Amino acid sequence: MFGFIALNKPSKITSHDCVDRVRKILNLRKVGHGGTLDPLAMGVLPIAVGKATRLLQFLPKNKTYRALIRLGVQTITDDLQGEIVKSQSASMLTLEQVEPLLHQFIGTIQQTPPIYSAIQRDGKRLYNLARQGKTVDIPVRKVYIEQINLVGWYIGEFTELEVDIVCGPGTYIRAIARDLGTMLNLGGTLARLTRTESCGMKLSESITLGQLKTEIEQGNFSLISANIALQHLNQILLSETDGKRWLQGQKIVQDLRTLSVSGVVRVYQPKERLLGIGNIVKFDDYQVLMPKVVISNE
């Protein structure tokens, strides 16, 4: 088996749990995922099957989320899974106070990830250090947020807002909820999170674990092909001779000087046989196709 699954991850299980369940359903060991979702989060979890696990790093990077942020509450995990450390009424808030603050998150920003996260510090996961009660200097990281659009405003004792967020890899939505609460001096936490798009796969096109099992049992399951998953990359077609050299891990120089593309590309032989991923490197008077991942789906 060679390809991808757009899995609709349920809440209350980990991304690794999803991989384990897919392995059992497919009766296949080589399964991986493209981008961890927190246990409470739901939505698109890209799954790679077989040799396609080697291609996960080349899938589109941007992700889209639908997030419900609760104001007036702060927890140790920055979501409702953690112990509440601060609570006060946010019923007096107005949309006019909150909406302008959302614009401050747009663009490339410095973000401090939650202490309860899978980031490693000195070889140890931050969440393990936090559970041990250890004080840790959390590394600040640069993340990119393309859009934050308000889709809902719910007034109550703990006023909530619902937003759609388009962002780059490594962005913590929990941190956005926490930081917005800090700006308002009220506290904020993530109440619900659904990933609606990841690695080019959409929630509307995803399947649940139950649907996957049923389709396998009925014999009508099909994987998302690598051709579709990697269609954002330019492609080049090699001759049979160059294709054999490529599969041996050799650089390809012939017939590349007239190429109009550069950078990371899909590499094919006739009949849409995917050979892998390469990188076209320009020199003064010629170009070379350098192998990055050599792979064949046959």
Q: Which of 44, 29, 57, 27 is CA-nearest to residue 292?
A: 57
Same domain, 164 and 132: yes
Helix (H/G/I), strand (E/B), else coil: 225? coil
**In the numeric block, which tokens belong to residue 98?**
């909150």
Same domain, 73 and 179: yes
Bridging pattern class, strands 124-125 and 141-154: unpaired
Q: Is the pLDDT of residue 127 over 80?
A: no
Same domain, 98 and 28: no
The residue segments making up the domain with residue 20 are: 3-60+200-225
Q: How does DSSP classify residue 223?
A: P
Same domain, 252 and 274: yes
Same domain, 112 and 125: yes
Same domain, 67 and 191: yes
pTM > 0.85: yes or no: yes
Same domain, 72 and 144: yes
What is the reported pLDDT for 282? 79
Quick: pLDDT tens for 67-99: 999 999 999 899 998 899 999 999 999 999 999
pLDDT bracket for residue 122 (50, 70, 90): low
Of 68-77, 250-259, 267-276, which gets the smallest average pLDDT?
250-259
What is the reported pLDDT for 134? 65
Task: Tell me if residue 38 is catalytic.
Answer: yes
What percentage of the chain exceeds 70 in pLDDT?
Answer: 90
Kindly report the average pLDDT of the chain as a whole number: 90
Same domain, 189 and 89: yes
Q: How does DSSP classify residue 59?
A: S
Quick: pLDDT tens for 179-200: 999 999 999 999 999 999 999 9
Count: domains in the chain: 3
Q: Calculate mean pLDDT across residues 26-50.
A: 94
CATH number at residue 142: 3.30.2350.10
What is the reported pLDDT for 132? 59
pLDDT bracket for residue 57 (50, 70, 90): very high
Same domain, 10 and 71: no
Q: Is the pLDDT of residue 225 over 80?
A: yes
Q: Report the C-alpha gap between 187 and 150 in whole angstroms.
A: 19
CATH number at residue 261: 2.30.130.10
Same domain, 214 and 285: no
Query: What is the Cα Rg of the chain in Å?
Result: 22
The type of residue at 50 is G
pLDDT bracket for residue 123 (50, 70, 90): low
One-character DSSP codes across 176-236: HHHHHHHHTTS-EEEEEEEEEEETTEEGGG-B-HHHHHHHHHHT---PBPHHHHTTTSEEE
Count of C-beta atoms within a 10 Å radius of residue 257? 11
Bridging pattern class, strands 63-71 and 160-167: antiparallel
Q: Which of 191, 213, 177, 246 is CA-nearest to residue 18?
A: 213
Q: Report the C-alpha gap between 263 and 280 in whole angstroms.
A: 5
Considering the candidates 20, 38, 78, 137, report the single residue annotated as catalytic: 38
Same domain, 45 and 73: no
Sign of CA dihedral 47, 52, 56, 61: negative
Helix (H/G/I), strand (E/B), else coil: 287? strand
Query: Looking at per-residue confidence, does 98 or 127 come out higher?
Result: 98
Count of C-beta atoms within a 10 Å radius of residue 223? 18
One-character DSSP codes across 144-173: EEEEEEEEEEE-STT-EEEEEEEE-TT--H
Q: How many CA atoms lie within 13 A of 39 on its CB side?
A: 12
Query: Looking at per-residue confidence, does 298 or 169 come out higher?
Result: 169
Q: Is the pLDDT of residue 131 over 70?
A: no
Same domain, 85 and 205: no
